[in-house]
Structure 1
């Protein structure tokens, strides 16, 4: 029987791979096992629990203040143990993380076929997002099967990079599968949700904020925080910001924002609570790729605090506005959404360009067919 090894290490990967894991494990035509590197630890474990996934292998590689190079070297060494034990015919990785690119390289060294979920996203700027853009390009060069979420990402590979069309499949993004399942299974009686309900003032417009990307650290992050302070001067808003644990984020955020009465700083949320909060928000300010993809399905406008995005589709349709970390752009765009209903409604699009919630099933069928052809 053919064997598929699914490998991921971060919270976003876990969310997006969870529907794929369930679809593959339900298929008795091949054997599937799950390996996690632990690139994120606590946040990753919360996602696994919510989606009821028990890893077959846990490399548990993350240590405090670990550099990208040290993490990469440890993944490259430790994944061989898993390859030796399971002997997979196909290794499935996701997106743009250190885990994805290094595991793909390790599989290539062992001449194991590589499948890349969420393939083909590009900015063609190696510094933005850093290091994700190069991670994704490296994985794309190594992969044998590419699962692209949209026609644009398909064209990036086939037209721009001359990847063989027969190896590229447009499936939609599995994040929509995860989101729709997650929203349908939220337990609003959870203590964490009840606690947030008591802290939020629903007579105001709730603005959900996230921010964590490396390219924004330093002065750009100060500008971003200053914009939030200006927006918070309004009496009709409440900003809630689950603050990333990275000291480059946490320290300036708490220093600059913690004393404002209209800004609520909280610890990072698990996936279930976060999607509940997204659904309760008026709009979202974020640098997250996943949130850019999820928010249109919830009818939430998004201001993206990046200068460029590899997720162009929602920008083209008007659901996402790229504002960067510019004080003026963030404040102006936020005030427009708060004051002008026509602008707000124009950003609530009817269908999500990133998928219909069936991407994992499509990926499962493609893998089954390809594995059968290679028997």
Structure 2
């Protein structure tokens, strides 16, 4: 059985690496096709997990919009798929690379497995274009590997057959456990490298398109107000390379001294900084999944989330992007709420998700 793993961004690489190794371990011929939708950030993760792509499409170029990205991806992915004659295609999540991988699989009548299936916000423009991508992949997929009960219910409500839905957990937990087990000394060295090993700090990340500009500025205003009242706290902010993000950060935080602004981090570095944080503020989906395994309360800087399990489990709070909400929730974390959130159980998995995905494909091969 020859299986293609098609992905192109750093989060996908993190979540696909454990699957790649599991397939290899059970004797499945797994081929890695990376699109290069992310550049440096993607290859940092591949190096960490020692995954060598069989194909690298290097798809990104300056000024490329979603339409051009999609059309170029279809042509390049299709050529590889036709040449290799895969028996099965795996895609992960909700990126344009994942959508195109599934679409090309459909065009070539190759069954597609969707890892991290069933996430929904109910608004195809939030997040954009991820919500539409994940729904479109759902219409194509042969099997839906749903991380949680909530995801399974979403798929059932949309009319998907229960026999085509398997609850697996999320592979991001597999990856996180691997790092904690194999790279613990590296994590401590990284904290010292950034001079945060002896500081109490809040980790913040914001990168989503819908938060660029005014929403991000509002959040930062709330954060700055709170930190100016709490002199023992620092802000650590790995900033997205997009100029619009950096402009907002520099505009609002100018003159504020207890900030540590750094470039986007390699995966291992980011895990280290998450591990040392007091708590986390983010608009990232992956961080919402990882933070509970590290015991970190998370304030989600969005109006909607396709990961309600974290909210229901008590590990995260959905707070939006108004300055007032941000400030008020930071105040709430001074009390018992912090302990309640930090001790809540992670609803996203037990570290055996890749094993379940591998077992499905192994049984299909027989």
TM-score (norm 1): 0.94
Please tell me whether the aligned partners of residues 201 and 238 of structure 1 are also in contact (alpha carbons under 8 angstroms).
no
How many pairs does the alignment contain? Answer: 364
Q: Check if 1:135 corresponds to 2:133.
A: yes
- After TM superposition, give the deviation of residue 34 of structure 1 in Å: 0.5
Q: Which residue of 163, 179, 182 corresponds with 2:160?
A: 163
Equivalence map 1:1-375=2 (5 Å): 2-28=1-27, 30-158=28-156, 160-186=157-183, 187-188=185-186, 192-196=190-194, 198=195, 200=196, 202=198, 204-233=199-228, 234-337=230-333, 339-340=334-335, 342-372=336-366
Please tell me whether the aligned partners of residues 170 and 348 of structure 2 are also in contact (alpha carbons under 8 angstroms).
yes
SS in 1 for 2:261: strand
Q: Deviations over 1:308-355 (max 9, x none)?
A: 101001101211001111111111111221x21x11011123431100
Counterpart CA distance in 2 for 1:112 and 1:189 is 41
Where does the alignment leave 5 or more consecutive residues of structure 1 unmatched? none
Counterpart CA distance in 1 for 2:26 and 2:91 is 18
- RMSD (CA atoms): 1.4
Counterpart CA distance in 1 for 2:86 and 2:179 is 30
Counterpart CA distance in 2 for 1:92 and 1:183 is 26
Counterpart CA distance in 2 for 1:273 and 1:218 is 27
SS in 1 for 2:82: helix
Where does the alignment leave 5 or more consecutive residues of structure 2 unmatched? none
Please tell me whether the aligned partners of residues 213 and 245 of structure 2 are also in contact (alpha carbons under 8 angstroms).
no
- After TM superposition, give the deviation of residue 155 of structure 1 in Å: 0.9
- After TM superposition, give the deviation of residue 256 of structure 1 in Å: 2.3
TM-score (norm 2): 0.96
Please tell me whether the aligned partners of residues 147 and 167 of structure 2 are also in contact (alpha carbons under 8 angstroms).
yes
Please tell me whether the aligned partners of residues 126 and 133 of structure 1 are also in contact (alpha carbons under 8 angstroms).
yes
